Structure 1
Amino acid sequence: MTLKQTIMGLSLLTTAAFAQTPLDRSKLPADAPAPQIKIGNPETFTLPNGLKVFVVENHKLPRVAVNLVLDREPLLEGNKVGTASFAGQLLRNGTKTRSKAQLDEEIDFIGADLSTSPTSVFGRSLSKNAGKLFELMSDVVLHPAFPQAELDKLKKQTKSALASQKDNPNAIATKVANVVMFGKNHPYGEQQTEETVDNVTLADVQTYYNTYFKPNIGYLAVVGDITPAQAKTLVEKAFGSWQRGDVPKPTYPAPAAVGKTKIALVDRPSSVQSVISVGYPVALKPYSQETILASVMNDILGGSEARLFNNLREKHGYTYGAYSSLSGDRLVGRFRAGASVRNAVTDSSVAEIMNELKAISTTPVTAAELKQTKNAFGGNFIFTLEDPQTIANFAINTARYGLPADFFPNYLKYVDAITEADVATAGKQFIKPENAVIVVVGKASEIADKLKRFGDIEYYDAKGNRVEAPKAAAAVPVGLTAQQVIDKYLAAIGGKEALSKVQDMTMQMSTEMQGQKVTMIRKAKVPNKSAMSVMVSGQEMMKTVSDGKSASRTMQGRSQNLEGKDLDMTIQAGMFPELYFADNKVTSVLEGTEKVDGKDAYRIKNSTPGGATWTNLYDVNTGLKLQTISMQRGPQGETAVAVDYADYKDVNGIKVPYTMIQPMGPMKMTLTVDKVEINKSLSDADFTVN
C-alpha cells in the first residue's frame, strides 16, 4: 500500500468515526488529567560541617545564583526586638577585610547582586565570575565586621519607619491583630518599638550571629551555568572552614483560640475610612496535600475577584478590594480576611465578610469557581518552573520539611483531584468565624455602636495595648450656629479686619520621605486665586493653579482643566476661605462635635452650589481649625482625605499653622512650614491657568 493510500484510508476511518458519534457542541470538552511534572533532581552533597548543598545545572544563560538558607526556629526577642533584623542587614555592611564601600565596589565590578537577611544570603553573577561571587559570599558569611556606625544608622532608619507606621492604619491593624491573636510573649505577637530598637547593642547582634549562623542548619542551592563538580569545588573552598555548632530550638505554647467572636477597636478620630482585619491562628503545617486544599479553598473565598471581592466591591461597592489569606507554618499558621471601607459602611462590610466566611462551607462551590481556581494554580505553578531557582527551592524544602520525594512533581495531580465537596470540608475545617478576632482601625465615634452586634468591644492603642474606651465629645451648646463657630475661628487667627488687609500670601513647607526632600509651595491672592506646587528633590511633580474662575492641575507634564466639583474645591486653597464663604455662596452646617487627637471639636460641613462638599473641624476651646476632610479623585474613584493643622504661630498679626499632616498613599506626610510671606505683591502671572 502506498503512503497516499494509507493517508486516504485513515481519513475514511476518521470520517466514519465522526459519523457514528455526532459531536455535541453544547458541552465543553472534558479536561485532560493533570500530568505529573518532570522535575529534574538536583545533585546533592553534604559538607563535613553539615552544610547541605543542592546543585541545579542549567546552561541556558551564562549565570549562576547561590542561595543560602538557615533553618532556625522563630525567635522571641523580648525587649530587644529587632536584633535579628539588624544582624541580617549588617552582614552586607562590611567584613573584617572589606569595608561596606569596598564590598559594594567589588560586587558592582563583576555586575553581581548580593543580599542578606537574618536567615539567608543570596548572590547572583555571570558564571565566569562565580569564583569571585563565592569569595565575596564567604567573606560576608564567615567574617562580618558589624560596624557600630552602620548599626547606629540602621537604628535611626528603623525608628523613622516605626514613626511613620504610627499613622498607617494598615500597619496598626496588622500589629494589633498579631498581639490579639498570639500575645506579646509569642514570636508572632511581640512588637518592635522605638524602645526595643534603642535596647539593641552591637554585642546583641554579634551574639545572634554566633548563635544561629551555623552550617549544620544551612541549605545551600547553586543554580545555573555550572557543573556539580565545579560547584562542589567552589562550595568546599568558600564554606568548608565554617564551623558547626549547637543551635537552640525553643518551643512555644500554641496560641489559644478565642471562645467567641470579639472586636478589637483602635480609635483613630481622624480616619475617614476603617481598616477591617478578621483573623485567628490556624493549625496548618506547610507543604502538604492538606495545605494545597486549604489554599485552593481560600483562593475561592478571598483571591483576586473571588467571593469576598465580588461581594464587597462588585455587589455592594463598599471597597476597592477585599481579600483573604490562609498560610501554613511549622509553628502556627494564620487566617486573615480584610478590606478598607468608608466609615458609614464599616458594620455592613464586617457583616458581609462574616457572611462569606460562613458561606464557604455551606454554599456549594460551583464547578466554574473550582475550575477557574485550578487553572490559576496550575498556570502559576508551571510558570514558576521556568526559573531554575524554583527547582532548587523544591529540593531545599523537600529536605527541610521531610516531604515525600514526589510531592512537588505531583503538585498538579493534588490540585486536579480536589472536588467541590473537598472545598466545603476544608471550609469547615479552617474557616472559623465564631473564633475570629475582628480588628477595626477607625473612627470609634462613628462606628463603635454599630459594631457591638458582632461581639464585645475591646479598645487598643496603635501599639497593641489595651486602653479604656474613648470619651465622647462634648455636646453642642443649644443655639450655637455654624456661622458663630466660623466667626470664632476667624477671630482666633487674627480677626476679620486684619485678615481682610492681607492681599496675598506665600507659604513654603517641606518634609522628607524615603530619603528625598519634598517641598510644597502654596501661593494665594484675594479673592480666590491660588497656586500649589509639589517638588521632590527639586523636580516639580504636581501643580494646581486657579485664577478664581478656572483651574488646572498638572502632573508630570500633563495638564487637566478642573470642572464641576473639582473646580469648586479650589475655594479651599484660597486665603482664609472662611472669610469669603458668603461671596462664594458656600453653605455651612454645624453637624455636631467629635474628638480630634483628644480635643473636642465642632464639625461643620460645607457645600457649594456646584456640589462640592468638605468638612472642617474647629477646636471647641481655642476656635482654631484642627482638620479638613474632603473627597479627592484618584485612580480608583473618590477617596476621603483628611488634613490636620497644628502648631499655630503668629506672622504679622495672623496665626498660621506651621505643621500640616496629610496623606501620601497609605502613609501620612508631616509638612513643616519653613517660610511665610504676606503682602509681597504677587503677580497675577503666578496664577495663570494652563
Structure 2
Amino acid sequence: MTFKHTLLGLSLLGLSASGFAQTLDRSKLPADAPAPQIKIGKPETFTLPNGLKVFVVENHKLPRVAVNLVLDRDPLFEGDIAGVSSFAGQLIRNGTKTRTKEQLDEEIDFIGADISTSPTNVSGRSLSKNVGKLFELMSDVVLNPAFPQAELDKLKKQTKSGLASQKDNPNAIATKVANVVMFGKNHPYGEQMTEETVDKVTMADVKSYYNTYFRPNIGYLAVVGDITAAQAKTLVEKAFGGWQRADVPKPTYPAPASIGKTRIALVDRPSSVQSVISVVYPVALKPYSQETILASVMNDILGGSEARLFNNLREKHGYTYGAYSNLSGDRLIGRFRASASVRNAVTDSSVAEIMNELKSISTMPVTAAELKQTKNAFGGNFIFTLEDPQTVANFAINTARYNLPTDFFPNYLKYVDAITEADVASAGKQFIRPENAIIVVVGKASEIADKLKRFGDIEYFDTKGNPVAAPQAAKAIPVGLNAQQVIDKYITAIGGKEALMKIQDMSMQMSTEVQGTPVKMSRLDKAPNKSVMAVTVMGNEMMKMVSDGQQAARIVRGNKTALSGKDADQQLVQDGLFPELYYAANKVTSTLDGTEKVDGKDTFKVKNTTANGHTWTDFFDATTGLKTQTMSMQKGPQGEVAQIISYGDYKAVNGVLIPYQIKQPMGPMTLTLSVDKVEVNKGLKDTDFSVN
C-alpha cells in the first residue's frame, strides 16, 4: 500500500469511528449476533447390493481421507459371557487370514495410517495418496479376521487384571452399582463383565458374535476428505462388495422399573475417608432431537464445568474438588447422573446440596448470563469439532441412522440460540426428578449411614451390586486392652520376639500384572531400618525407595528425590524390618483407636505417630492377632485419600509368618502382589542400601 492509500484508509477509519462513537449507548449490552449458518458438506450417497449404506463427503482442503464404518445393532445382553462383544471388537484388529497382527501393524504404519476397531465400529485414516491401501487393509480387517487364540487369551488376561484393579476403586464401584440399581442385572445397561464371565468366553462365542453382527445390511460407511465420489464408490465396491448380508437379531428388553420414591443404595467401604455420591435414574430421552439439545443446555447449566453444582459444593461450601451432572439420550433408555466425591463428615450435607440444586433448576430462574455462557460454550465446542473430518462423517451416518431432517446438524446452533430461560425451566421440570432418584453412596457406613436416613430408605449392596444385609458394628474394645497389648499379640502370632530378632536381613521377590503386563517388585530389608523397594516393568526399573537407616530417597525413572520429615519417617520408621520391634527406639506413639470390620472380621485399629507427625493406622485381626491392613493418608489431586495395603496368606519362613499376598495401591489401581520367593539372613551388605 502506498503512503497516499494509507492516509486515505486512516481517514475513512476515523470517520467510521467518529460516527460510531456518536451513536453508541454504553448503558446497554450489545445485542447478540444471530447464530451463524453452519455449512456442512452434503454427502453423495449410494447403497451396495449387500445393503451397506455409503456416504461420501468431499473435502479437498487437506490431502487426507477418513473412513468410518458403524454397525447399527441394538444393545445386547450377553449374560454369563459378558465381555464377548468387546473381545470380538478388539480381535478383528489383531490379525487376519492373510496378515499376522505384526504384519498388519507394519503395513498400517508404513503408509502413516491408523485403523481402530470396536464391537460396532471400524475406522481408519490415511493420506489421500494411500487411500487405496487403507481400503485394502480395512477390508481385510472386516472380512477376514483370523481370531488367533493366543490373542484372545492375552485379552482375557489383560481384562481380568483391569477388573481386579477396579475392585477397590470407589468410583468404579459407584458406577457399577448405579447401573445395577437403575436397570437391573438382566438389562444390557445393568449387566456386568466379571472375571467369571471373562473366563467363560470361548473363541466359538467370539466368532458367533462376529458372524451374527458384522453384516453389511446394518452398516453405515462414511468416506470423508480428499476423494471424489466416483473414486470412493470404486474403492468401496472393491473392498466391501463381497461382504455377505444376513438377518441380524433385534432383541427387546422391558423398561427399567420406575423409581417410586427417593432411596439410598449404600456400599459399605470401611476404609474410606471419602464418600462417592451418585444421584441416578433412567430417563426417557431419545438422541438427536431439539428436545435433546434443550436437555443438554439445561444440564450444562446445572452440572457443567463451573456450573451450579460445582459452584455450590466446591466454591460455596468447600465440600469437594468437583461436582457435575450428566444427562444422556439413548435409543433404548437414557440416564441422569449427578456426582461428587466428598469427605465423610460432609456426606449428608453434600447430598442435601445436590438435591437442592436438582430441585432449583426448574424453580430458580436461569439468569441471562448463565444461559449466554452455556450457549457460547456449546457454539464454540460445536464449531471446534467441525475441524475433524470424522465429525462430518458421523453427522452423515447419524442423520441416516436416526432418520433426522437433513438440516438437523447445519441448524444445530440455531436450535441452541433459540433456547430461552423459560425453556430451561421447562426442561428442568421434565427431566430432573430428585423425588424419583436413587442416591448411590460408596463410603464408610459406620460414619455416614445414620445421617443419610433423612433422604430415604437405605438399602445395602456389595461392590458387585448384590443386595446385602446392613453391616454389623464391630465389637467394643475389651476393658483394659491397650495398643501395646495388641502389638505384642501380633508379634507373638507371627513367631515371637526371639524368632524375629534372629532374622537380620530379608530378601523378597513379588510379582503381579497390570493389564497383562508383568510387573516385578523386590524388597531388601536389614535390621533395624535399612530397606530397598524397587518396581520393574518389562525389565525397566520404574521406581525405587531406599533408606540407609539415617536417610531416605525416592528414585523415579532415574530421578532421585531426598526425603525428609514425614516422608522420610515412612521409609525409616514404618517400612523397616518388623518395625513394631523398634517403635520405642524410634519414638513412635501408638494408641488403640477403636475397632472396625475388615472383610467381615473384627479388627483392632492401632494409630501410630512419629515425632515428625507422620501417622498411619494398622488393623489387627481380633481373633488371630495378625495384621490385615495398613492405612495412611496421602495427598492426591482431590485432597487427602486413604492408601491401604492389605496382607494375607501368611506362611512360615524360618519360624516367622510372612504375608505371601499383598495388595498395594499404585496410582488409581490396586495391585495384588504374590510373593514368589523369600530368603533370610543372606548377609546383605550396608552398601546394598546406599542412598547416595
Alignment TM-score, normalising by the size of structure 2: 0.92
- Structure 1 gaps, min length 5: none
Q: How does 1:29-44 map to 2 (within 5 A)?
A: 29-44=30-45
Secondary structure at the aligned position of 2:145 is classed as: coil
Q: Does 1:643 align with 2:645?
A: yes
Equivalent pair of 1:270/1:597 in contact (CA under 8 Å): no
The aligned amino acid for 1:582 is A
2:628 corresponding residue in structure 1 = 626
Q: Distance in 2 between matches of 1:195 and 1:569?
A: 38
Deviates more, 1:513-522 or 1:602-611: 513-522
Q: Is 1:20–2:27 an aligned residue pair? A: no
Q: 2:192 & 2:645 partners in 1: Cα distance?
A: 29
- Cα offset, 1:309, TM superposition: 2.6
* Counterpart contact for 1:272–1:641, Cα < 8 Å: no
On the 8 A contact 2:162/2:514 being kept in 1, the answer is no
Task: Report if aligned partners of 1:530, 1:547 keep a CA contact under 8 Å in 2.
Answer: yes
Aligned to 1:190: 191
Whether contact under 8 Å (1:271, 1:642) holds in the other structure is: no
Preserved contact between residue 445 and residue 594 of structure 1 (Cα < 8 Å)? no
Distance 2:509 2:80 in 1: 41
The 5 Å alignment of 1:112-127 reads: 112-127=113-128
Q: Using the alignment, how far apart are the partners of 1:182 and 1:594 within structure 2?
A: 33
Secondary structure, aligned partner of 1:361:
coil
* CA deviations over 1:315-335 (Å, ceiling 9, x no partner): 434333322211110111001
SS of the aligned residue for 2:415 comes to: helix
1:23 Cα deviation from its structure 2 partner:
5.2
Secondary structure of the 2:569 match is: helix
C-alpha spacing 1:559/1:322, structure 2 compared with 1 (3 Å): farther
Match of 1:337 in 2: 338
Q: Does 1:600 align with 2:596?
A: no
Task: Tell me if structure 1 keeps the 8 A contact 2:61–2:226.
Answer: yes
- Following the alignment from structure 2 to structure 1, what is the Cα–Cα distance between the partners of residues 509 and 606? 28
Whether the 8 Å contact between 2:160 and 2:515 is mirrored in structure 1 is: no
User: Does structure 1 residue 435 correspond to structure 2 residue 466?
Assistant: no
* Corresponding residue for residue 490 of structure 2: 489
How many Å separate the matches in 1 of 2:211 and 2:114? Answer: 25
Contact 1:276 1:440 (8 Å CA) reproduced: yes
Cα 1:145–1:261 change in 2 (3 A) is same
Identity %: 79
Note closer, same or farther for the CA distance 1:665–1:307 as it changes in structure 2 (3 Å cut). farther
What CA distance in whole angstroms lies between the structure 1 residues aligned with 2:478 and 2:25?
80
1:573 aligns with 2:569: no
Matched, 1:392 2:393: yes
Matching residue's letter, 1:159: K
Alpha-carbon shift at residue 180 of structure 1 (Å): 0.8
Contact 2:41 2:58 in 1 (8 A): no
Q: 1:403 to 1:272 in 2, by over 3 A?
A: same
Which residue of structure 2 aligns with residue 538 of structure 1? 539
1:417 shift after superposition = 2.3
Residue equivalent to 2:668? 666
Matched with 1:110 is 111
SS in 1 for 2:362: helix
CA distance in 2, matches of 1:187, 1:372: 37
**Deviation for aligned residue 1:68:** 0.8
Q: 1:147 offset after TM fit, Å?
A: 4.0
Range with greater deviation from structure 2 (407-416 or 349-358)? 349-358
Measure the CA separation in 1 of the matches of 2:482 and 2:509: 34
Q: Distance in 1 between matches of 2:93 and 2:8?
A: 69
Residues 524, 305 of structure 1: CA spacing in aligned structure 2 closer, same or farther, 3 A cutoff?
farther
Inter-CA distance 8–495: structure 2 relative to 1 (3 Å threshold): closer
Rounded to whole Å, the distance in 2 between the matches of 1:71 and 1:343 is 44
Whichever residue aligns with residue 422 of structure 2, its letter is A
* Distance (whole Å) between structure 2 residues aligned to residue 505 and residue 197 of structure 1: 38
1:51 aligns with 2:52: yes
Cα pair 2:266 2:442 within 8 Å, conserved:
yes
- Amino acid across the alignment from 2:229: P
**Is the deviation greater in 230-239 or in 666-675?**
666-675
Deviation at 1:6, TM superposition (A): 8.2
Q: Structure 2 vs 1, CA of residues 537 and 79 (structure 1 numbering), >3 Å: closer, same or farther?
A: closer
- Quote the Cα distance in structure 2 between the aligned partners of 1:6 and 1:98: 69
Which sections of structure 2, spanning at least 5 residues, go unmatched?
A: none
Partner SS for 1:369: helix
8 Å CA contact 1:272, 1:642 repeated in 2: no
Q: Tell me whether 68-77 or 491-500 shows the greater mean CA deviation.
A: 491-500
Worse-matched range after superposition: 96-105 or 562-571: 96-105
Q: Which runs of 4+ in 1 moved over 6 A?
A: 2-9
8 Å contact from structure 2 (residues 66, 389) kept in 1: no
Question: Which residue of structure 2 lines up, in the alignment, with residue 677 of structure 1?
Answer: 679
Counterpart residue number, 1:529: 530
Q: CA deviation at 1:645?
A: 1.0
Give 3-state SS (helix, strand or coil) of 1:357's partner. Answer: helix
In structure 2, the residue corresponding to 1:64 is in which secondary structure? Answer: strand
Give the deviation of 1:555 after TM superposition. 2.4
Q: AA paired with 1:609?
A: A
Deviation of the 1:181 alpha carbon: 0.4
How far apart are 1:586 and its partner, in Å?
A: 1.9
Decide whether the 8 Å contact of 1:284 with 1:329 is kept in 2.
Answer: yes
Letter in 2 for 1:504: D
TM-score (norm 1): 0.93
Aligned counterparts of 1:543 and 1:157: Cα–Cα separation in 2: 25
Residues 315 and 530 of structure 1, relative CA distance in 2, 3 Å threshold: farther
Q: Is 1:264–2:252 an aligned residue pair?
A: no
Question: 1:151/1:514 Cα in 2 relative to 1: closer, same or farther (>3 Å)?
Answer: closer
Corresponding residue for 1:588? Answer: 590
**Offset at residue 11 of structure 1 (A):** 6.0
Query: What's the CA shift for 1:410?
Result: 1.5
Instruction: Tell me how far apart the structure 2 counterparts of residues 11 and 658 of structure 1 sit (CA, whole Å).
Output: 81
Paired AA for residue 496 in structure 1:
K
Q: Which moved more, 1:394-403 or 1:338-347?
A: 338-347
Residues 502 and 207 (structure 1), Cα distance of their counterparts in 2 relative to 1, 3 Å cut: closer
Q: Distance in 2 between matches of 1:158 and 1:650?
A: 33
What is the CA-CA distance between 1:656 and the residue it aligns to? 1.8
Range with bigger deviation, 159-168 or 321-330 = 159-168
Q: 1:633 to 1:546 in 2, by over 3 A?
A: farther
Q: Which residue of 1 aligns with 2:61?
A: 60
Q: Which amino acid aligns with 1:608?
A: T
Letter in 1 for 2:433: K
Residue type of the partner of 1:76?
F
Q: Distance in 2 between matches of 1:202 and 1:680?
A: 48
Distance 2:9 2:561 in 1: 67
For 2:6 and 2:656, how far apart are their aligned partners in 1? 100
> Deviations along 1:315-361, whole A, 9 cap, x unmatched?
43433332221111011100112223333333333223222222322
CA distance in 2, matches of 1:420, 1:531: 62
| Greater Cα shift, 603-612 or 101-110 | 101-110
SS in 1 for 2:80: helix
The correspondence of residues 14-413 of structure 1 with structure 2, limited to 5 A, is: 14=16, 17-18=19-20, 20-21=22-23, 24=26, 28-413=29-414
Question: CA separation in 2, counterparts of 1:393 and 1:355?
Answer: 38
